[in-house]
Structure 1
Amino acid sequence: MTTMEHTEAGWAAQLHSHDRRVTKQRLAVLDAVEHLPHATADAVAEAARGQLPALTLQSVYVVLSDLTELGMLRRIEPPNSPARYETRTGDNHHHAVCTGCGKIEDVDCAVGHAPCLTPSSSTMTIKVADVLYQGICSDCAP
């Protein structure tokens, strides 16, 4: 999905295509995740409360879960960290996590096509390869 589609009208069209109502809560959560890639649910809630001060953390969790199930958001689970959310979906990109500060960066598929990893042997048709790189970011490097 391109950034141009990540507008209120674009989000509304996607929600309608999934037979979901366009609500202030959903739009606030989508906007928060768009502006805070790899954010935790707590960070999404804090950002979304800028638009909807009464928004509860439980409501944010419900919206995040629903939008992830629909494929509008992607949930990633780095080791030793709460789940993170992003709007970049459908391109099978990976992530690099700094083991020093926890910073997360997107890493495009190394081969250039999904699923970008071909297993040496498998009886399954691979649809997604989820690679997590771990290292030290430039801010944490000595």
Structure 2
Amino acid sequence: MSTIPEFERMLRGAALRVTAPRIAVLTAVHNQPHSDTDTILGRVRESLGAVSHQAVYDVLRALTAAGLLRRIQPMGAVARYETRVGDNHHHLVCRSCGVINDVDCAVGEAPCLTAADDNGFVLDEAEVIYWGLCADCSAPHTASAHP
């Protein structure tokens, strides 16, 4: 688990000032991966008190741009953030409850997939989202149906 000194080193390494809101956002996202902005805002307010939505949005944007956070946005869902960056992992998303889990690359080295035609692009990342039902949502609901 990352500690505040590790977060401070990460911020300095990314040429960002160490501030309480940045530490609070990194801590919130690290402790609850795949959090949405409202959840992160709530966690930051728990640790710092009054913080504006705009301040948290600004910190999320700066940390994402610096590569300290990864922003994911499955189709039809709000943006989520995670501290697992740089390994080009993928995600499993439950169609029913929306839970998101990490899954390692499907095959090979990053970008994990080879495009049939790269159209001259130099590929460095592939974003893959697997959709389905999580174990809880796919379990049969029979306990209440029988006396």
The answer to whether the superposition gives a TM-score over 0.5 is yes
1:103 and 1:14 map into 2 onto residues whose CA distance is: 28
Which letter does structure 2 place at the counterpart of 1:124?
Answer: F
Given the two structures, how large is their TM-score scaled by the length of structure 1?
0.93
Gaps of 5+ in 2: 141-147
1:16 and 1:117 map into 2 onto residues whose CA distance is: 33
Given the two structures, how large is their TM-score scaled by the length of structure 2?
0.90
1:54 and 1:112 map into 2 onto residues whose CA distance is: 46
Which letter does structure 1 place at the counterpart of 2:132?
Answer: G
Q: Which runs of 4+ in 1 moved over 2 A?
A: none
Gaps of 5+ in 1: none
Which letter does structure 1 place at the counterpart of 2:131?
Answer: Q
1:50 and 1:112 map into 2 onto residues whose CA distance is: 41
What is the root-mean-square deviation in Å for CA atoms of aligned residues?
Answer: 1.1
Higher mean displacement: 103-112 or 60-69? 103-112
Aligned to 1:10, the other structure's residue is in SS state helix
Q: Which of the residues 3, 6, 13 maps onto 2:9? A: 13
1:77 and 1:111 map into 2 onto residues whose CA distance is: 22
Aligned to 2:131, the other structure's residue is in SS state strand
Q: Does 1:62 align with 2:32?
A: no
> Which residue of 2 is the match for residue 30 of structure 1?
26
How far is the alpha carbon of 1:18 from its aligned partner? Answer: 2.1
Which letter does structure 1 place at the counterpart of 2:63?
Answer: L
